[in-house]
Amino acid sequence: MHIPTIFDNGYEGEIESYLISDKKFHHLQKVLRVKNDSIVKLTNGRGLISSGRISNKFITIAETELKQRDNMINIFIAKLQDKTRMRLLIEKLTELGVQSITIAPTENSQKINITSDKINSWIIGAIEQSGVPFAPDLLIEKKIDFEKFPHSFDISGDNISKNIKFKNFAIGPEGGWSKEELESFKHISKLSNFTLRSDTAALVAVSLMM
């Protein structure tokens, strides 16, 4: 049975009863069809997660737990031209529990107008749907930092060793890395003998590095 989760960045877990906002309550009641006395979860996206039963606009907290993050992956991606695919990628990276998502333009990436507010709304949506208690840090930069992301996955690289785990890595844009960008990475590995789309490559890489 799916248990809905409410995300509240300001929640600290030191209360016995939580007042649900009008917007969240409307979604629970009208969209998810949550009824009184149903179990609902509450998280601040920093590992704290509580559960309790709903009564009108209140959750009576029954249990609170502080989870420890076990996924320290930091991934660099470029914006995808297709906003639907971009949204799905952000949602899946959130569900997989990555520590941070860095987004910056590359030489061959598309100039797509997606704001940080919009991306954060996708992150919150994924948290509330999946119940994962961690929100990835979202970093919007002007360019890629090759010191922070020394490893890239690209079809031009060598076969990846199953015994090596990289925690900071970059996924190329839909147009691929430029020659100069590829030369700036310390390590390049390939995930497949075929060219994977950027969103596919990102999810495969995270899964392998977990």
pTM confidence score: 0.92
CATH number at 74-209: 3.40.1280.10
CA–CA dist 158, 112 (Å, integer): 31
pLDDT digits (tens, 9 = 90+) for 144-203: 999 999 999 998 888 887 667 889 999 999 889 999 999 999 999 999 898 899 999 999
Domain with CATH 2.40.240.20 in the chain: 5-66
Residues of each domain in the chain carrying CATH 3.40.1280.10: 74-209
Residues 90-143: tens digit of each pLDDT: 999 999 999 999 999 999 988 888 899 999 999 999 999 999 999 999 999 999
Distances (CA, A) of 44 to 6, 39, 126, 179: 9, 17, 13, 42
CA 177 to mean position of chain CA atoms: 23
Q: What is the dotted CATH code of the domain comprising 5-66?
A: 2.40.240.20
DSSP track, 117-172: HHHHHHHHHHHHHH--SBPPEEEE-SS--TTT--EEEEEEEEEPPTT---SEEEE-
